[in-house]
Amino acid sequence: MSASAQTSTRDTVLNLLLQQGEMEAGDLAEQLTISVQAMRRHLRALENEGLIESSCPSKGPGRPSYRWRLTGQGRDRFPDGSGRFALGLLDSMRASLPEQTVRDLLNQQAEDKAQHYRRLLGDGPLAERLERLADLRRDEGYVTLCSPDDDGQSWRLQEVHCSVQRIAEEFPAICDQELLLIRRTVPDCAVERVHWRLEGGHACGFRITPDARA
C-alpha cells in the first residue's frame, strides 16, 4: 500500500472513531473493506503516534475484543474554532469597553493563571520549577524550551511555537499578559523579554534571573 493510501486509511479511521466514539477492529475493517489483520496494523500505528487508545471490556474466553477510541491528541487533529471565537470575543470587548478595562481584564487573567501555576510548581529549587513550568506550557500547546543562560546565573525560557500566536498578532496586549504571567509565576526572580516573535524573532524568549533580595 502506498504512503498516500495509508494516510487516507488512517484519516478515515480517525473520522469513524470521532463519529462513533468506540469501535472494534473488525467493525472498522468492514467499513473500510480491508482485512482485520491490515486494520490492526493501522490501529497499532495510530496508537504509536498517540492518536488512539484501546480498552478491553470483554473478559470471556477467546481472543480479547479491543475497542478503540480517540485520545485527546487524536481529537486535536480535527479543526478547532476556539481561536476564532477568542478573536471575536476580544473584538467585541475592544469595541464596547475602554482599552484600559480590556487590559485590566487580561492582566487579571494572568494573575489568576500565575496563582494556579505557583500551586502546581511548589517551592522547590528554581531549576525544578522552571522545568515543571515548561512542561505545563507544553501541555497547553506551546513548544517551550528551558535552559541555563550563558551568564551562569539566569535561565532562558523560549517558546518556539506559541499557541496564541494568531490572537497575539491582532492583540499585542496578549504578549504583555504573557510577560506578566511569567513574572507572577516566579516572583522571586527578575523576568525580561529577550526575544519576541512579533518583532521578527524566531521565538518568544524570557531571561529569568534569581532576585538576590528574595
Per-residue pLDDT tens over the stretch 66-107: 899 998 888 878 866 777 888 898 889 989 999 899 899 999
- Residue 106 C-alpha cell reads as 487580561
Per residue in 47-68, pLDDT (tens digit) is: 999 999 998 765 555 566 789 9
**Quick one: which of 214, 176, 189, 184 has its CA closest to 204?**
176
Separation between Cα atoms, residue 191 and residue 181, nearest integer Å: 10
Residue 80's φ and ψ, nearest 5 degrees, are -125, 120
pLDDT of amino acid 66? 85
Q: How far is CA 176 from CA 33, 107, 136, 162, 167, in A?
A: 54, 8, 19, 14, 13
* Rounded distance between C-alpha atoms, residue 199 and residue 207, angstroms: 17
Q: Which domains does the chain have, with CATH numbers?
A: 3-75 (1.10.10.10), 82-210 (3.30.1380.20)
Contact 70, 51 (CB under 8 A): yes
Q: What is the pTM of this model?
A: 0.62
Q: What is the pLDDT of residues 143-202, one digit of tens each?
A: 899 999 988 889 999 888 877 877 888 888 888 899 999 999 999 999 999 887 767 667
102 contacts 177 by C-beta, under 8 angstroms? no
How is residue 73 written as a grid cell?
491528541
- SS3 category, 97: coil
Task: Give the pLDDT score at 162.
Answer: 79
Least confident of 13-22, 35-44, 59-68, 124-133: 59-68
Q: What is the pLDDT of residue 190?
A: 95
Residue 205 pLDDT > 60, yes or no? yes
- Identify the pLDDT of residue 62: 58
